Amino acid sequence: GQQLNQSPQSMFIQEGEDVSMNCTSSSIFNTWLWYKQDPGEGPVLLIALYKAGELTSNGRLTAQFGITRKDSFLNISASIPSDVGIYFCAGQPNTGTASKLTFGTGTRLQVTL
- Short-list 20, 27, 15, 5, CA closest to 89: 5
Does residue number 42 form part of the binding site for another protein (CB under 8 A)? yes
Is 67 a binding residue for another protein by CB under 8 A? The answer is: no
Q: How big is the chain, counted in residues?
A: 113
Residue 30 backbone dihedrals phi, psi, to 5 degrees: -90, -30
Question: Any contact of residue 103 with another protein (CB under 8 A)?
Answer: yes
Of positions 14, 82, 100, 113, contacts another protein by CB under 8 A: 100
User: Min. distance of Cβ 5 from another protein in angstroms?
Assistant: 11
- CA dist list (Å): 91 to 12, 47, 59, 100: 26, 12, 22, 9
Site residues, another protein (CB under 8 A): 1, 3, 30-31, 33, 35, 40-45, 48, 88, 90, 92, 97-101, 103-106
